[in-house]
Homo-oligomer: A and B are copies of this chain.
Amino acid sequence: MSNEKQVAVKAVLDFWNSRIKEADTLIESLTDEQLQKEVAPGKNRGIYLLGHLTAVHDRMIPLLNFGEQLYPELGDVFLTKPDKSGAAMPSVEDLRARWKNANSKLATHFNNLKPEEWFEKHTSVSAEDFAKEPHRNRLNVVIGRAGHLAYHVGQMVFLKNK
């Protein structure tokens, strides 16, 4: 039923939007100095996780067939390399802006998709494989990335009162 399709899309989008809101509220509550600290002794710093999440969300733009990435240069520092690799990083201020921009671009596209377009394949799966595995669609990407965000927000919350 068309109704159930729309209901499923709404459930996933509500989940995504809630996780983004939770992350935004946390990140905005943290100072630049707090974001420079490790979330736990010897673990990633807040700035690395902010850059990592920004890079992952930015990559969702081409993955969901919404166009070019905004910040492909983030991949090397925040996806390939671990934290404290010595590689130069953008400032926290800059990353805060990129984080908002990447999510804003995604939101614009999300709001313009028709329910059935959520069930179209993402760009990392071939048409042949998609015929056999129809769950490899946009909806599935968004669920997975929202879970990834929740995982790291659970860590970044430790920066509060640091």
Contacts and interface: CB of A to CB of B under 8 A. Distances in A.
Interface of A: 1-5, 7-12, 14-15, 19, 39-41, 43, 116, 119, 134-135, 137, 139-140, 143-144, 146-148, 150-155, 158
A147 B144 contact: no
A143 B5 contact: no
Contacts of A8: 4-5, 8-9, 12, 119, 139
Contacts of A116: 4
A10 B150 contact: no
Interface centre among A1, A5, A144, A150 (most CB of B within 10 A): A150
A43 B160 CA distance: 11
Main DSSP-derived SS at the A contact region: helix
A135 B4 contact: no
A145 to B, nearest CB: 11
Interface centre among A8, A41, A155 (most CB of B within 10 A): A8
A19 B57 CA distance: 20
Contact of A135 (B7, B144, B146, B152): B7
Nearest to A155: B154
Contacts of A134: 3, 7
A151 B136 CA distance: 24
Contacts of A119: 4, 7-8
Contacts of A39: 40
Interface centre among A11, A15, A152 (most CB of B within 10 A): A11
